[in-house]
Structure 1
Amino acid sequence: MDKLKEKLSSLRMEADEANLRADELAARIKQYEHEFALKEQENASLIHKNELLEKEIERLEQQLLEAKMVAEDDSGCRNISESLQKKIQLLEEELEKNDVNLQKTTDELRHMDLKSEYFERKVLVLEKERDEIEAKYEEMIKKYDLVKAELDEVNQQLENL
């Protein structure tokens, strides 16, 4: 009888521990999903900034072409052309940095996605384990009730003697 109670207590503790682990993993998943969403926002922002910079480069290249045509007529325009070329070069460097940032963010997003999938699978395994423990627990309660009923019946028979 005491062994059965100890077994029931042990199963309860295992079920509580499995529930706690499942809750912790669910919290981790939420955290990773939040970080994933932030990285996606950052990624979208970098893509938008990249598009704006590309448009700016196209606009500046057009201005450079126009400045070169004017420079042929006027040597004073050379300064404008050089200034625009420097600006284009700076924008291209910034674009390259943004491309590197975009790639890094994309890699981080993939990594976060893999982590999220891993923990989701882990939660499923723990939930299955918890369900099995709960089933064992319920089975032990039924056995306990049967043994208790038999014991009560035996006690009743002994009292009747």
Structure 2
Amino acid sequence: MDRIKEKMNKLRLDADEAAAKVDELQAKVKTLEQENLTKEQEITSLTHKNSVLETEVEKLEESVKGLKSSADQGLQHGSQNESLNRRIQLLEDEAEEADKTLREANERLRLTDVKAGHLERKVQALESERDNWESKYEDMAKKYGELKKEMDEFQAEMGNI
């Protein structure tokens, strides 16, 4: 009788531990989903920033072309030509800087995509682990029910004796 009670207590403890583990894993999943959402928002932001920078680069490239054309026409005007050349150089530097910024943004976007993929795999693994724990919990609950039924039958038999 005491052994059955000990087994039942042990089963209760195991069930409580399993429930605690499930709660902990659910909290982890929730945290990872929140992180994933944050990463998706960051990706969206970087994508928008990337498109804005691409537009700006196109505008700057068109501006550089226009300034170079103006510089060619202004060869007759020495001082004017010199100032236009300086302006073109500044715009080219800005275009290179914008291009560099665009490349960095693309690299960050790629890294974020990699991290998001990694986190998605992690979430899937955690969900699988959670499902395993739920299955184990259900098995233990079934065993507990069977043992309880056996114990009740045993007690009924003991009561009849």
Q: TM-score range by the shorter chain?
A: over 0.9
Between the aligned partners of 1:92 and 1:60, the Cα distance in structure 2 is 10
Partner SS for 1:152: helix
Give the equivalent residue in structure 2 for 1:11: 18
> How far apart are 1:67 and its partner, in Å?
1.3
Of residues 46, 49, 73 in structure 1, which corresponds to 2:53? 46
> How far apart are 1:55 and its partner, in Å?
0.2
Matches within 5 A, 1:15-30: 15-30=22-37
- Residues 56-79 of structure 1 show CA distances to partners (whole Å, capped at 9, x for unaligned) of 0111111111112xx1xxxxx222
> How far apart are 1:80 and its partner, in Å?
1.8
TM-score (normalizing by structure 2): 0.93
Give the equivalent residue in structure 2 for 1:61: 68
> How far apart are 1:141 and its partner, in Å?
0.6
- Residues 33-65 of structure 1 show CA distances to partners (whole Å, capped at 9, x for unaligned) of 111111111111111100000000111111111
Unaligned runs of 5+ in 2: 1-7
Between the aligned partners of 1:57 and 1:84, the Cα distance in structure 2 is 11
> How far apart are 1:119 and its partner, in Å?
0.6
Number of matched residues? 154
TM-score (normalizing by structure 1): 0.93
Give the equivalent residue in structure 1 for 2:153: 153
Between the aligned partners of 2:53 and 2:141, the Cα distance in structure 1 is 59
Give the equivalent residue in structure 1 for 2:117: 117
> How far apart are 1:153 and its partner, in Å?
0.7
**Aligned-residue RMSD, C-alpha:** 0.9
Unaligned runs of 5+ in 1: 72-76
Between the aligned partners of 2:23 and 2:144, the Cα distance in structure 1 is 20
Q: Percent identity?
A: 34
**Structure 1 stretches of at least 4 aligned residues deviating more than 2 Å after TM superposition:** none
Between the aligned partners of 1:42 and 1:84, the Cα distance in structure 2 is 30
Give the equivalent residue in structure 1 for 2:3: none
Give the equivalent residue in structure 1 for 2:128: 128
